[in-house]
Structure 1
């Protein structure tokens, strides 16, 4: 398959963060039940495609060079290596700036509400409960949170973009499946960037731009990987990359997406979303593969 097709898939997956910002910025209130289902759905898609398809591709690639037994062990090692890699990255990112922590518009609006509340100062005069000086002090903190979220998402998305690109070069149908899974996963990440930037700057345009840019680390990862690794593309390279991305996607689903889905909705809603995501990805794999 052409390099152009593989690169286009990676760009489309990365731009899903911009879609997340649009959903967040133009919704009057956050639909927590729908958010819970969507996060569960995203986790279901990622877990299913990782364990059923991507990890299998990793093992097949290794077996082509190392044999049956050694190939299985190598695929397992790459899978666990991907889990370890994303776990280390998550540990280095403070919880407040974690890109998978979706903050609702209402949470950011609390500071706006406090600015408008006044108390009686006597003699018919009133003073704001939160003085303007204090209110303005919050803006840099919110902007910092949004920018750090964008940076953290960029770090997370870099290897995902490379994996999508390599998968599309090796197997276009698998590349499409991975791109769809990552795109769905990127939507809540776009929300995580857009909301704090919007409340820090008051600009939907800036919030959208920062959110969209955070997802463009995926095609950047694909481009850098292609330029520096194309001479090393072989069964071992594909096996390592498939195993690593499978581990990354499973870890993110279990550590972040599912817990967040349960937090924002009923337990059963997250489970229903999870099952629906697995079913949709399973059907799509049967049809495409």
Structure 2
């Protein structure tokens, strides 16, 4: 563990998101054991993921952004507000451009630029879009530690990565499970399921490097990651968890996910 503490923050961010990617792969591997997972279980898992992302957006990103703005002598609500809106706007723009298909929808309802791509690829791209802000959030958190920000610490960044990793487990199965139900082999379902999180290490390294190079924008960057995650939760994760009428189960999952992430951040951060 000492070698991780002494590693460069960009390497730390990369390794942390290798863990979150690995958790996605572990979840996707569930398709070998549960070829036809219960929809109620899937909705509970999606709700859990939503709860984790909402809690992480405040405890690990927005709250530090507010504190950092005060420490830098800025109007404390301006950088969080600007960054939050820019983050949500960025994902909205990606949503309009990148071809993708949300879980549980027919291929005719694919969003983004019209293509003739297969449903499999469109589903994976939807989760990939979901994973960009998660990787970015982890990278920015580690970048804040490397920048020497007093309110940022390694334990908090690790707690964020741990929370993202935990919620990535059900996400992996949320991709591979539907692919398996459509007739794809377990091996191919697993491959596409884990592939959706490949973008997280890339986004993490980019986020950490950007923060180190442009330290004055850190409070904006933290809020940017939060806005991106909240957009994904509201536009994608929560609606998908409610599609099958399991609202009570998915809501309970969201409450538990929020509680878990809040506890991790407060206890370790």
Task: Provide TM-score, normalisation by structure 1.
Answer: 0.72
| Aligned 8 A contact 2:65 2:222 in 1 | yes
SS at 1:71 equivalent = coil
Question: Which of 207, 210, 213 is matched with 1:232 structurally?
Answer: 213
Greater helix content: 1
C-alpha separation between the residues in 1 aligned to 2:38 and 2:32? 13
C-alpha separation between the residues in 2 aligned to 1:181 and 1:190? 15
Distance 1:161 1:233, change over 3 A: same
Offset at residue 259 of structure 1 (A): 1.6
Offset at residue 247 of structure 1 (A): 1.0
SS at 2:103 equivalent = coil
Is 1:148 aligned with 2:148?
no
Task: Provide TM-score, normalisation by structure 2.
Answer: 0.77
Task: Give per-residue Cα distances to partners, 1:34-71, cap 9 Å, x unaligned.
Answer: 2222111111111122123310111222333342xx23
Is 1:253 aligned with 2:247?
no
Task: Give per-residue Cα distances to partners, 1:228-250, cap 9 Å, x unaligned.
Answer: x365241x332122101111222
- The 5 A counterparts of 1:1-289 are 1=5, 2=7, 3=9, 4-67=11-74, 70-94=75-99, 97-98=100-101, 100-101=102-103, 144-169=118-143, 170=145, 171-191=153-173, 193-195=175-177, 202-226=184-208, 229=210, 232-234=213-215, 236-289=216-269
Offset at residue 76 of structure 1 (A): 1.0
| Aligned 8 A contact 1:163 1:242 in 2 | yes
| Aligned 8 A contact 1:36 1:265 in 2 | no
Unaligned runs of 5+ in 1: 108-140
| Aligned 8 A contact 1:102 1:191 in 2 | no
Unaligned runs of 5+ in 2: 107-115, 146-152
SS at 2:118 equivalent = helix
